[in-house]
Amino acid sequence: MTSANYRDEFKSVIQKLIDSPDNEHVALTNFIGNEFVKSESLMDSVNPATGKPWIKIPNGTATEVDSAVAAAKEVFRSWKNTTVQQRSTLLNKVANLIEEFNDEIAVLESRDQGKPIGLAKVMDIPRCVQNFRDFANAALYTLSTSKILEQPSGKCINYVKHDPVGVAGLISPWNLPLYLLSFKLAPALVAGNTVVCKPSEMTSVTAWVLMHAFKLVGFPAGVVNMVIGEGRSAGQRLVDHPDVHLISFTGSTLIGKKIQEDSAKMNKKVSLEMGGKNPGIVYANYRKSDIAAIARSSFLNQGEICLCTSRLFVQRPILEDFLKSYVAEAEKFTIGNPSTQVQIGAMNSKVHFEKVKKYIEIAKAEGGTILCGGVKTVLHGCEDGYFIAPTVITGLPDTSQVMTDEIFGPVVCITPFDTAEEVIERANSTSYGLSATVWSANTDELLNTANELRAGTVWCNTWLARELSMPFGGCKQSGTGREGLHDSLHFYSDAKTVCVNLAAKY
């Protein structure tokens, strides 16, 4: 198939989903062995902005996972022997195809997840493209260690060969669906593994579109497979399957810890990126021009980013002025139908909406003051949608549930501090350690604080500035392992030392 032909076919797949009428829900399928396979049963997928079903998705079973793993295992024998150049070329073709239809795919991501369409256009889909391109190209220039060993009998040369692991099980979350799925797929595939992925059943539409891209650009049958379904069925079978030797998971700490326990029984390689309760520390001399960035760090994507700031520690002398500025900034965020030009869309599901609402009620019950935010009613077809405005809470102790639990929504607690030593201890006091931000005009203050924080990433006077070559992951209950250009390629391969006696005569 020529590139022009497969572009037309890809466009047709996307357009059919965009044009799907509300009363005629398109049914998605699983993707096994390069075939789109109808599932044994289907379930509704809800548009968070309307609160109504808009598409049908598979309710994947253990049997379907077994079929996908069998296809991946079979083709691994040949796929692992392809060259890095061949794999890189295919991934770049996927990147090009996704990039060409960036805006159309963003429509689907917004409708399925609830995020503003403008955000999907400039963050989610471009980052998916970048993930495929950067991993495809980085793998071409990965260096292996080699060393000559001299001994009395002669010289030996040692070198390291990075072997693919086998079938990789990839479980991705609902908050950044295509963005985070591609962050797993790209390194797994370029390293020579075959994969079975399970996107969240809340947001599987763009993953299904992506499967078409893999097939159309020429990936061999069985290299990439996908089963859509619930974690307790499809996800659990993927974790338990004896022919899946590696699991990469992004999601809640509760589920991640169970995956780690189950995988340990078979000694599987596991990478876990889990929850966070990320602190932001604002010193008295912070740059007031950063107030918009500080607010953005709490509320982008409805606060449904694992790296969002949910606890803000503000030095006492500036607390009153900071609160006025911060609340004013929070109230600037426009909220509404994510298909329009708003900054805050809908919470991803009714269950999650109710969870976030519950924490706002807990804050009130514990004596907290709600300075702004709460449930928001949106009209024009979104009356039943799941909307919560940026919510700012003060007056809670560090031991409050709202200060310790991961809420994963547009809710931030602000509390005062006096000294650097005090705030570092308080910021580190949770069981999480994913990320943190520090805001100060004093470089020593920034670096001294950053160095003492127990977090996988600390941003100083900025937020969400991500460089793929840097390690990404969490400490404590926020995760195990690191992801990034170098770390991911190492995780998706096994290093093998080969030693050759140069003095031997043959």
Rounded Cα gap, residues 324 and 320, in angstroms: 7
Catalytic residue among 273, 304, 406, 445: 273
Residues in the chain: 506
152 half-sphere exposure, CB direction, 13 A CA radius: 0
Q: Is 87:190 a contact under the CB 8 Å cutoff? A: yes
Q: What is the DSSP letter of 331?
A: T
CA distance 303 to 408: 6
Point out which residues pair with 415 in neighbouring strands: 313
Per the annotation, the verdict on 273 as an active-site residue is yes
The alpha carbon dihedral of 203, 207, 212, 213 has a sign of positive
Output the six-digit token pair for 491.
């995780």
In angstroms, rounded to a whole number, what is the distance separating the alpha carbons of residues 330 and 286? 18
The partner residues of 154 in beta bridges, in order of sequence, read: 151
Q: Across the beta sheet with 146-151, what order do the strands follow? A: 146-151, 154-164, 493-501
3-state secondary structure of 140: helix
d(CA 184, CA 250): 10
Residue 381, classed as helix, strand or coil, is coil
Q: List the beta bridge partners of residue 196.
A: 169, 225
- The token duo for 109 is 């991501």
Nearest to 156 by CA among 148, 167, 166: 148
Hey, what are 86's tokens? 């061949």
Spatial distance between the Cα atoms of 449 and 409, rounded to a whole number of angstroms = 26
What are the distances in angstroms from CA 316 to CA 27, 70, 281, 418, 433?
55, 60, 12, 6, 24
Coil vs helix vs strand at 54: strand
User: What CA–CA distance (Å, rounded) separates 394 from 462?
Assistant: 23
* Dist CA 338 CA 389 (whole Å): 13
Give me the numbers of helices (H) and strands (E) for the chain, helices first please.
17, 22
Catalytic residues, by residue number, are 273
